[in-house]
Amino acid sequence: MRKMAGILIAILFFFSTLGAEETQYTNYTFARLSYMTGKAYIQRAADLGYEEAVLNTAISEGDRIGTTDGRAEIYLGKANYVRLDKDTKIDFLNLPKKGYDLVRIRIWSGNVYINVGSLEEEKDIEIHTSDVSVYVLEEGLYRIDVRQNRETEIFVFEGIVEAAGETGSVLIKDEQRLEASNARFTSRPTPFRAIAEDSFDRWSEHRDSKIRKHLAKAYLPEELEDFEHELAEYGDWVYAPPYGYVWVPGGADPSWRPYYNGRWSWLPLCGWSWIPYEPWGWCTYHYGRWHWRYGLGWYWIPTTIWGPSWVHWYWGYDYIGWVPLSYYGYPGVITNNIYNGRYSGTYYPSNSRVITVIHKNQLSAQNVSKVALNRESVKKLGKIKLSSQRLPLRPKASKVSVETLEGKKLFLKKIDSLSKQERIKRSTQTSIRKPGSIDSKKAVQSSSTSPERKIIKEKSSARTKGSLKKGSYGYPSSSKISIKNYPGKIKTKKSSSYLGRLYKNLTKSNKSIIIRSSGSASQGTTSKRISSSSRSRSSSTSSQTRSSSSRSSSSKVRKKK
């Protein structure tokens, strides 16, 4: 009997997740703003205005994120993180989709750490600046500093990358740095001492230590193991048959319920996505299901498929509501302290403590819990019929007004109703054609009216080449700013046997190999390593001296000038 019940649960769960599996996004299509201090802002790919960033915001392909007085960490999935220093601005040009795992990032200015904990194939992660294109070839830790309109400096703490410019490409290995300016290398790969100096180094190391924290017990499936330390900090695991171990949030108010403390955000690829204000909310609202039990309260059951939200919707003439789905794919119901996870009635009980209802004009409210109807008001709505379809409403488009954030000029949103035609035009999402495609007609331009966000048609080459024009986005922009993806010359292979042999040879000899545009290789000379006290940040030449020395493995951060 228990075996049959288990089969029934599996079948119901399959059908409840079928809609998510048919979508074009994967578990890693949307990055997560996983940690931040101070102020940060986001500009959506299909929107002219900015919005202030909050923890657990979903970041889509084409979005821009920047910091002012604070720092931000973006989780890409699979133990991969991007960290932004103060006054840093980047674009996510590509994020993974079904059958295409490329992550491409454009750094406009500032300092960025890239912690690569998982890399399926070489060059699956690319970082581009106005001076150089960087292709990640191994898991490791990297820092890139971009001094806008001046130069780019690359530091490799662990791993190996290929840096490409107009004159060719070069491999940068463990504990080596390289400078580039105007698409040309102004130094050869030279050693540096990997010890902490500035506050950004120390902050990134602190974040790494939090992520590396190992727990005695692991309750999450492999796909969600990156969230293990986070859930352990904010709640407890309890065994609850037949689901196994479930997670119970700590300190929840009696009136609290899932999808209540947060807000809704519109993402063109998936519709309305929930932004939770609980620090642990990314995992528990985008994966898994919520149940309730008397004496235990709300608890979360892990599952492994990402979704913008796992709810059933209600929309009436003036109101919109939602109910979290149970493990079985039905809307949950709580009446008389009894939870029903298999409710299939035509109308949802208005006296259930699970449903959240707001006025339709409040769908974009900054905090749902502040505008939600009380239970007595919900009862007065009459019959409530739920739907498994996505909410068909779209957000109102917005005009923009120029305001300031931390003394920098930004275009900020000012909600205003526009015509249907304008809303359709503005909702078109940015898309960048997959590299390697020959037909340049498939290149898609951004719908943003801002010239700096406009993506020019791609040329028919193995790597994308485009240019971005002048724009005003809170930082000074040069009219000659351009984006170029300088193609690397090292062949990408699923097997890293070739790269492994090359890397071992480099490590033994402490030499670098520069790949010229013609494909020929020339070896760098061996010279004395520059000490931290005498090393200059100015552009170094190939005649600089360096010596072979043992690698420091005790620290992941570097000693600057």
Query: How far apart (Å, rounded) are the C-alpha atoms in residues 357 and 552?
Result: 57
Is 293 contained in some domain?
yes
Is 250 contained in some domain?
yes
pTM (two decimals) = 0.74
Q: Which residue has the higher pLDDT, 297 or 546?
A: 297
- Which H or E run includes 185? strand 184-185
Is 159 contained in some domain?
no
Most confident of 263-272, 306-315, 473-482, 508-517: 306-315
Is 264 contained in some domain?
yes
Query: How far apart (Å, rounded) are the C-alpha atoms in residues 463 and 432?
Result: 12
pLDDT at 547 over 60: no
Condensed to tens digits (0 to 9), the pLDDT of residues 459-498 reads 323 333 333 333 333 333 333 334 678 887 765 554 343 4
Percent share of the chain, pLDDT over 70: 66
Is 87 contained in some domain?
no
Is 270 contained in some domain?
yes
Is 73 contained in some domain?
no
pLDDT at 537 over 50: no
Is 249 contained in some domain?
yes
pLDDT band at 215 (very low <50, low <70, confident <90, very high): low
407 to each of 86, 177, 474, how far by Cα in Å?
14, 33, 9
Burial of 125 from C-beta contacts in 10 A (0-12 / 13-18 / 19+): buried
Give the range of the structural domain holding residue 252, as residue numbers without chain letter.
Answer: 2-12+213-379
Condensed to tens digits (0 to 9), the pLDDT of residues 174-207 reads 999 999 999 899 999 999 987 767 999 999 999 9
- Secondary structure E strands in 55-160: 58-59, 64-67, 71-77, 80-84, 89-94, 103-116, 125-128, 133-136, 140-147, 151-158
pLDDT at 144 over 70: yes
Q: Which residue has the higher pLDDT, 517 or 125?
A: 125
Query: How far apart (Å, rounded) are the C-alpha atoms in residues 476 and 317?
Result: 47
Q: Provide the domain count of the chain.
A: 1
Whether 134 and 155 have beta carbons less than 8 Å apart is answered as no
